[in-house]
Structure 1
Amino acid sequence: MALQATPYKISLDISDTDRGVYESVKFTVARHPSETELRLASRVLAYAMFYHPHLAFGRGLSDTDEAALWEIDLTGEIQHWIDVGLPDAARVIKASRRAPKMSVVVYGNARLWREKVLPKFAHLNNVNVFVLPQNELAEIAEKLHRSTHWGVMISDGQLYISDGDEQVIVALECWHGEMPEASL
């Protein structure tokens, strides 16, 4: 019998002073049976970082032709393709051709990926690469429950994630491109 995806009900109060985005959003995200807690937490943080009313979760792990997240306009055109993890260069290049904007949110031990993969697409102007620090991401992943309510403030490239009891500060590092900017 195949394992089922686990639904997570997420509520985010987003206050992104860098982009001028202030929204309270609720959504359900499915955790694929083979998905780690770190990857799920990365997808949720990417949702907050790039929030747009048309941003949606793709099937990601179960469909390699879809992004982890993507912004699709009302005509059905992909405006922003967002991957999380350590995608290979071919995937990044292909995605950069499918959307005017492509972002990668890297987590995990990415030093080797940075040395070997990033140079293969460094010439692409529409690709941005952001890094989530391992220790802070692990702390956030521990706080991600089947029903989660977080306040996420983004200011000067830092994420402040609060669950009401504690706050975790995540300093985003930009390895390629520019920090997210207003697109609303």
Structure 2
Amino acid sequence: MTLQATPYKITLDISDTDRGVYESVKFIVARHPSETEIRLAARVLAYAIFYHPHLAFGRGLSDTDEAALWELDLTGEIQHWIDVGQPDAERVIKASRRAPHMSVVVYGNARLWREKVVPQFAHLTNVCVLALPQDELTLVAAKLTRSTHWGVMISDSQLYISDGDQQIALPLECWHGELPATL
């Protein structure tokens, strides 16, 4: 018997003062059977950080040729490829050739990844690497339920997640490149 993906109904009230984005969005995201809660939370936060009306979740873990998230224009061309986790340099380089913007949202103990992998694509100017702090991301992941409503505020490279009961602040650390001002 094959395990099925678990659907999560997400509502995000996004206030991104850094980019001038103010939206309330609802979507369903599938959690792959082998995906951890922390990775799912990182994908949802990446959606908020890079929000654009044409941003969508890829098949992720079930299809390695797709991004975790991507923004497609009206012709179907990839405008922004977003990976979550610690992809190898070859994947980052390949994705950076397929889209004008390529971003990686890193989480977990990534010090070694940063030292060994980032220098292999340091010459690429269209790649942005953001790191989410592990302790705070773990707290956010614990708040993720099958029906989640979060307020997400981004201001001065700080991410604030509120679920009505508690607010968690996550500093966004840029390890490479720059966060695209407008996508």
Give TM-score scaled by structure 1 length.
0.99
- 2:80 pairs with 1:94: no
The residue that corresponds to 2:47 in the other structure is 47
Match of 1:123 in 2: 123
Q: Is the contact made by 1:49 and 1:180 (CA closer than 8 Å) also made in structure 2?
A: no
SS at match of 2:87: coil
Q: CA deviation at 1:102?
A: 0.1
Give the alignment of 1:130-141 within 5 angstroms.
Answer: 130-141=130-141
TM-fit CA distance, 1:179:
2.4
Deviation at 1:181? Answer: 1.5
Match of 2:17 in 1: 17
How far 1:105 sits from its partner (Å)? 0.1
Pairwise CA distance, 1:180 = 3.7
Aligned residues, how many? 183
Kindly provide the amino acid, as one letter, of the partner of residue 72 in structure 2. Answer: I
Q: Is 2:143 the partner of 1:143?
A: yes
Q: Distance in 1 between matches of 2:169 and 2:75?
A: 37
Structure 1 residue 62 displacement after superposition? 0.3
Q: Tell me the distance in 1 between the aligned counterparts of 2:79 and 2:180.
A: 14
TM-score by length of 2: 0.99
Distance 1:172 1:121 in 2: 20
How far is the alpha carbon of 1:168 from its aligned partner? 0.1
Q: In structure 2, how many angstroms separate the alpha carbons of the residues matched to 1:24 and 1:37?
A: 23
Give the whole-Å Cα distance in 1 for the aligned partners of 2:62 and 2:179.
29
1:173 maps to what in 2?
173
Structure 1 segments (4+ residues) deviating >2 Å: none
Write the deviation string for residues 19-52 of structure 1: whole angstroms up to 9, x where unpaired.
Answer: 0000000000000000001100000000000000
Which ranges in structure 1 are unaligned for 5 or more consecutive residues?
Answer: none
C-alpha contact 1:104 1:130 (8 A) present in aligned 2: yes
